[in-house]
Amino acid sequence: MEIGPTTHYVMGGVRVDGDSQMSDVPGLFAAGECAAGLHGANRLGGNSLSDLLVFGKRAGEYAARFAKENALGAVSSQAIESAEKCALQPFERKSSENPYAVQHTLQDVMQDLVGIVRAEAEMLQALERIRELKARSERASVDGNREYNAGWHTALDLHNLLTISEVITRSALHRKESRGAHFRDDFPAKDEQSGKFNIVARKGTNGEVQLAHEPIPPMPQELQQIVEEMK
């Protein structure tokens, strides 16, 4: 039996309001692993399940309330058309780029260069590789029809996988310290200043990843009290 450390959880995710679980896109809620912020720099065993129970319930309740209080927004037929066209592109492409090959290469790149122990030179190399893979993903083509076509789904996933991989890499590059599971070989010590903000990634006007610092809000008094009591 082989035993080794592995990547098994994404601690970053969609930035949401802690009470309602709503993102800054009105009506879009996130809870669980796809939402960010709950676990700090390292999720401990068992905490994912309690996260789901507490924040899943909140997300459900607030989403239901939001749906009752807000009328259905207008849908742009142009947006639907363009999304549909985008989704069907892998069937129309004539190239023979295999979506699985792109996905597997991306997995290897992230495992090797942005893995458990990270360093600047490797991560810069990873960004270069991700750029190449983006170009390949835009050529990914599939056969068959739309029913149960996992190859097509993989081709559609590539865009998201590549985006998230780039955000992870750029955020890790930006962090000039080690904290919890964010371990940098070239910055092994914890930096006190870096503990005061979150690194938030947004999409820029040209589709590029923009990073910003958002101060970590102070702990609510009632939670602070519990921490004190447990000391």
Using CB under 8 A, pick the residue from 62, 114, 129, 154 that binds other proteins. 154
Q: Please say which residue, 20 or 149, places its beta carbon nearer to other proteins.
A: 149
Q: Please say which residue, 104 or 174, places its beta carbon nearer to other proteins.
A: 104
What would the two tokens of residue 71 be? Answer: 């009328």
Least separation in angstroms between residue 55's CB and other proteins is: 23
- Is 149 an interacting residue with respect to other proteins (CB under 8 A)? yes
Binding mask 48-87 for other proteins (x = CB under 8 A): ----------------------------------------
d(CA 111, CA 58): 34
- Enter the DSSP assignment of 193: G
- Is 222 an interacting residue with respect to other proteins (CB under 8 A)? no
- Is 163 an interacting residue with respect to other proteins (CB under 8 A)? no
Using CB under 8 A, pick the residue from 77, 78, 145, 193 that binds other proteins. 145
Write out the binding residues for other proteins, residues 3-32 only, by CB under 8 A.
none
Using CB under 8 A, pick the residue from 65, 85, 104, 176 that binds other proteins. 104
d(CA 79, CA 92): 20
Phi, psi of 30 (to 5 degrees): -140, 140
d(CA 198, CA 93): 40
d(CA 22, CA 190): 31
Q: Please say which residue, 12 or 99, places its beta carbon nearer to other proteins.
A: 99
Burial class, 192, CB count within 10 angstroms (exposed 0-12 / middle 13-18 / buried 19+): exposed
